[in-house]
Structure 1
């Protein structure tokens, strides 16, 4: 390859890497690389909330949004805060597909799978259900954001503030540690 074409190819590759940091290395960016190990351990030890039919609130809404994202519930619009019979059926199907004991409740093992399936969510993420789940959890934790499914500047700012409050290396990206802290109420 001629030097000018090689230089152009290298420049194009470098620009693509800079423009899509989440696609390039999401695991390395999630929850900041400098989160102290003791903070990670403390957050990992926080108990998951137990959810069952009849429950309601922001954590139920977040679980509902995630079950929509994973294809277990039809789109219901924003803000379903009730753990109803349809959500119970969706949880049972989700549990069955992952070889989790099927009981229709969201407990430790189900939350662990939900978190694994969540992956990493940050600025520009196009999964409106996952972003709405993050926004509902942020609001539940005292960070007022509009639950619109768009991970814009206000959502990123709220994630950073939440991470700072919980001694998570603040990068504005919701990875496994930030997700657990959001669901459990943080430290």
Structure 2
């Protein structure tokens, strides 16, 4: 009987040990998952990665925010240069080698009130998540990790508050979270903007164009979609139709955006192109180089314009289909 009890205790101890080990592995895996970027991912973290790869001479593509085959090959190139296993996946070792920040959890270095973005960790991110949760924007775990779920919550807050949808937490986002009025951005006409520019002024321009009826992803990159929107605006205002946002065009857009009476919830005819994998997204990018991947309950898609009449939307669909994007279609939003 005594030997039987001892045997049972040994079995229970072994089971408990396995369970504990499993939990440790599970927690470790969850933490590691927050560090990994790989093919098929999208968001600000991927944009940051692409910018860094370009600086290091491993990437010569555009900053799209989508981790496709071109980004994977660039990661492999940088990994080979640094004697890292060339798997095309940005794990903790590659993250550090590319100097993208400190990927380790629990550093506590990101304080609430400082600028926060994807990849940041610590008490400041925990406080951010709590405040976003209180306002109904965040439903995930309060883990102090600024990942895709936290970024999506910040973008939704920015969208609802009329701010540039950067996914980063700046003074304007803090002002909204603290219940005060966000400081208005200083208008900056400068020397104009053109194809290939990438900065916060481009994001402001895209936001202004959206307020007067266009439908652009707010990426901060002046690509072909932004160029076409600027060209359309210039033609509607009898301005020189260059597609470049020169100072005169920027002033006209700012004036139109400030006085636009178009309600923010007005419904429009949008052209969308569904896709299922990175290969199909790459085919879309071949036609629309600055395409931005989006996702809703129905799946992945790219938005290719928004129009006030179905006739205009159908014309855009026909153009896209003639260029090989046969899945292009019109949705009423």
TM norm. shorter chain > 0.5: no
Interval of TM-score (by shorter of Structure 1 and Structure 2)? 0.3 to 0.5
Q: Which has the larger radius of gyration?
A: 2
Query: Per residue, is there more strand in 1 or in 2?
Result: 2
Query: Per residue, is there more helix in 1 or in 2?
Result: 1
TM (norm. structure 2) is: 0.24
